[in-house]
């Protein structure tokens, strides 16, 4: 009988596993199913550019089905993982209909969600930048704030509407802040009498420097670059609380703002939090062996952002913090190794550990500037780093058609300003930090 392999998550990791399994296993050897809540893989490195309107939303998502040849794809939200009964349940996101799948081999590749660190108001009053819906919501919210500011008398309320805050000085936060500066430069001229100097862009980082996990020169360059482009940096002061009026920092400083973007870190998918009989890390991630098998659960594997994969042979050292980082670069490399290990297990052969040396890290800061670090401590900054970032990520974007579409977006961006059409086709998560719009004069009372 052929083995039933079920992969949870159609992101970088899940798709990489499925693609390799399709290559390595004969059709009669296994049935492969990928289950995910969206029918596409989101290319997150370009998400800040979607939020700033320099890339069209659809161009950074690639349908999972288009990336697979013979795997079955099931669209569904995972609602139950029963490791004892060896089955999972997924519910269709629209109809709610349940599908139950039994498995012999299960891959947990459900990624991560925004970490709020229990700070009051984060869920209700900030916008995350994690999903395609987040990026679209953020762009619309920014345009809505400008629309409202332009009809508001100069004063405290208009200042609040024109204050935009990014929380988190890691690469996502720095990229988002840099991209939004580009967006404001492009669209504020449409909002006469507002001028660029009316808009405040603030980046808050609880630590003492930006890009703290990367070589110091990257953080120094990023600090200088963002400051030159009038991003106000608040370093060494974390956010204590957020409400509808704005943020309060640990130091007690209040920052009134209508739009706050939360980019302060991630934690593994909460669906995996209460899985019994597995080893959880402090943040709820699944601790796995070096071959990505889940400790204590034969036939179960974990990968990508939701897995803690030790990067040393000595498990004691791994306990002290030597884990592979949660990045797309790693998830893509982990996939084929995990797939090979499933194949080895099915064929009664030994598995292999995941061993990978990072190719480096890059961040695009907008304004045609970037930073990049390579093995051996070599750091590149400025235009060349930005160009490298664009070239590398364009090449990694799945699908030739997507690559061409993004190239066209970038080319048109050189010629035309960003679009200020506010498309309310999205569903908002959480509360709105923007006040309710007043009803037009003469409008009938609300029902």
Ligand X SMILES: Cc1cc2nc3c(=O)[nH]c(=O)nc-3n(C[C@H](O)[C@H](O)[C@H](O)COP(=O)(O)OP(=O)(O)OC[C@H]3O[C@@H](n4cnc5c(N)ncnc54)[C@H](O)[C@@H]3O)c2cc1C
* Interaction site with ligand X (CB under 6 A): 9-14, 36-38, 44-45, 47-48, 77-78, 109-111, 129-130, 172, 269, 271, 304-305, 326-329, 331
Residue 32 near residue 347, CB atoms below 8 Å: no
Q: Which residue is nearest to ligand X (CB)?
A: 11
Helix axes 132-150, 171-187, angle to 10 degrees: 40
CA proximity to 198, closest of 244, 242, 145: 145
CB under 8 A, 24+ apart: contacts of 372-380: 372/218, 373/214, 373/215, 373/218, 377/215, 379/215, 379/217, 379/218
Pick the closer one to ligand X by CB: 297 or 390: 390
- Distance in angstroms (rounded) separating the CA atoms of residues 13 and 364: 23
Q: How far is the CB of 374 from ligand X (least distance, A)?
A: 14
Integer Cα distance of 207 and 237 in angstroms: 7
In the complex, what is the shortest distance from the CB of residue 127 to ligand X, in angstroms, rounded to a whole number?
Answer: 12
Q: Which is nearer to ligand X, 91 or 352 (CB)?
A: 91
CA distances from 195 to 51, 190, 235, 250 (A): 21, 9, 27, 31
> In this structure, what token pair is assigned to residue 67?
């990336």
Residues in the chain: 447
Instruction: Identify which of residues 76 and 246 has a Cβ nearer to ligand X in the complex.
Output: 76
The residue among 161 and 331 lying less far from ligand X, judged by its C-beta, is: 331
Select 13 or 214, whichever has its Cβ closest to ligand X. 13
3-state secondary structure of 330: helix
Measured from the CB atom, is 160 or 290 closer to ligand X? 290
For residue 208, how many C-alpha atoms fall within 13 Å in the half-sphere facing its CB?
1
Sign of the CA dihedral running 214, 215, 220, 226: negative
CB of 166 to ligand X, least distance (A): 11
User: Mapping DSSP to helix (H, G, I), strand (E, B) and coil, where does residue 247 land?
Assistant: strand
Provide the minimum distance between the beta carbon of 172 and ligand X in the complex, in angstroms, as a whole number. 4
Smallest distance from the beta carbon of 425 to ligand X, in angstroms? 19
CB of 151 to ligand X, least distance (A): 32
Kindly state the smallest distance separating residue 437's Cβ from ligand X, in Å. Answer: 29
Smaller CB distance to ligand X: residue 78 or 406? 78
Nearer to ligand X, 270 or 277 (CB): 270
Rounded (10°) CA dihedral 422, 425, 431, 432: 10
Q: Using the minimum distance from each CB to ligand X, give the nearer residue, 304 or 398.
A: 304
Max CA-CA distance within the chain? 76
**Least spacing, CB of residue 10 vs ligand X, in Å:** 4
Q: How near is the Cβ of 50 to ligand X at its closest, in Å?
A: 9
């Amino acid at each position: 009988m052929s083995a039933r392999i079920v992969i949870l998550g159609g992101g970088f990791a899940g798709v990489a596993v499925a693609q390799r399994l399709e290559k390595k296993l004969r059709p009669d050897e296994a049935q492969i199913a990928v289950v995910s809540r969206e029918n596409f893989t989101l290319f997150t490195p370009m998400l800040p550019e979607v939020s700033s309107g320099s890339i069209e939303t659809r161009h950074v998502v690639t349908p999972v089905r288009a990336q697979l040849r013979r795997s079955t794809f099931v669209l569904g939200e995972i609602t139950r993982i029963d490791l004892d009964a060896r089955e999972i349940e997924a519910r269709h996101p629209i109809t709610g209909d349940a599908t139950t799948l039994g498995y012999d081999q299960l891959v947990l590749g459900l990624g991560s969600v925004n970490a709020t660190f229990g700070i009051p108001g984060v869920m209700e009053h900030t916008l995350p930048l994690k999903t395609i819906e987040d990026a679209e919501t953020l762009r619309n919210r920014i345009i809505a704030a400008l629309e409202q500011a332009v009809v508001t008398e100069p004063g405290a309320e208009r200042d609040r509407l024109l204050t935009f805050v990014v929380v988190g000085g890691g690469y996502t936060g720095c990229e988002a802040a840099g991209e939004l500066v580009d967006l404001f430069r492009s669209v504020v001229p449409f909002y006469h009498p507002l001028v660029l100097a009316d808009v405040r862009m603030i980046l808050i980082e609880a630590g003492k420097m930006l890009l703290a996990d990367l070589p110091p020169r990257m953080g120094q360059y990023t600090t200088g670059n963002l400051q030159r482009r009038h991003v106000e940096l608040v370093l060494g002061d974390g956010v204590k609380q957020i409400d509808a009026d704005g943020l309060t920092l640990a130091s007690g400083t209040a920052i009134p703002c209508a739009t706050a973007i939360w980019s302060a870190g991630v934690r593994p998918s909460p669906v995996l939090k209460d899985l019994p009989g597995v080893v959880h890390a402090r943040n709820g991630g699944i601790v796995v062996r070096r071959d990505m098998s889940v400790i204590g659960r034969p036939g179960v594997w974990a990968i990508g952002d939701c897995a803690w994969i030790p990067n040393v042979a000595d498990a004691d050292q791994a306990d002290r913090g030597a884990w592979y980082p949660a990045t797309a670069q790693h998830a893509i490399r982990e996939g084929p190794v995990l797939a090979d290990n499933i194949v080895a297990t099915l064929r009664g052969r030994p598995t292999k550990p995941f061993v990978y040396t990072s190719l480096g890290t890059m961040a695009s800061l907008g304004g045609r500037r970037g930073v990049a670090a390579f093995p051996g401590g070599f750091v590149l900054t400025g235009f060349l780093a930005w160009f490298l970032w664009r070239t590398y990520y364009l090449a990694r974007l799945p699908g030739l058609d997507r690559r061409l579409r993004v190239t066209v977006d970038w080319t048109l961006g050189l010629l035309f300003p960003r679009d200020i059409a506010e498309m309310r086709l999205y569903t908002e998560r959480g509360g709105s930090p923007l006040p309710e719009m007043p009803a037009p004069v003469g409008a009938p009372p609300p029902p």
